[in-house]
Amino acid sequence: MVDIYSKMKRSKIMSSVENKKTKPEIYISNLLLKLHYRFQNNVVTLPGKPDMVFPRRKKVIFVNGCFWHGHKDCSRTKLPVTNRAFWEKKISGNIQRDKKVRRELNKLGWKTLTIWQCQISKRKEQALEKRLLMFLES
């Protein structure tokens, strides 16, 4: 497939995708509300601005897009053919940043859970609920 966007344009598209509340984020938010959990969104005072924050439990959840955050061994992380070096650098930078953020949060006493976009579907909802409960109640 030919990349029809210039480097700049694609970069712009990707970042606008990242800044907006994503579909997977909305899905997980709704699931948590269904399970009667209350949480805060994108708390800017915490490292990495976690997607969902449970202050009393000292737990945070990240909902990550597979491409953008470089999900390991995932079919959704296929890089665009053009500007490959650019994307490799960009995505590996994001992976490093995510690691650092998790380390910082752990140091501050927060537990983190990462849910990947490819793990979210109606079919997998029960497994997902279980995972959320295990994390939040442990």
Across the beta sheet with 111-116, what order do the strands follow?
40-41, 52-54, 59-64, 111-116
Interacting residues with Zn ion between 76 and 115 (CB under 5 A): 76
**Residue of the chain from 118, 129, 131, 136 that contacts Zn ion (CB under 5 A):** 118
When asked if residue 74 is in the footprint of Zn ion (CB under 5 A), the reply is yes
Interface with Zn ion includes 116 (CB under 5 A)? yes
The nearer residue to Zn ion, 37 or 116, going by C-beta atoms, is 116
The single-letter DSSP state of residue 116 is E
Residue 46 DSSP symbol? S
Q: What is the smallest separation between the CB atom of 112 and Zn ion, expressed in angstroms?
A: 17
**Residues 6 or more apart in contact with residue 17 via CB below 8 angstroms:** 65, 68
* Residues 1-60 close enough to bind Zn ion by CB under 5 A: none
Which letter does DSSP use for residue 20 in this model?
A: S
Binding residue (CB under 5 A) for Zn ion from 28, 60, 61, 66? 66
Q: Among residues 64 and 112, whose Cβ is nearest to Zn ion?
A: 64
Helix/strand/coil percent split, the chain, to 5: 55, 10, 35
Binding site for Zn ion (CB under 5 A): 66, 71, 74, 76, 116, 118
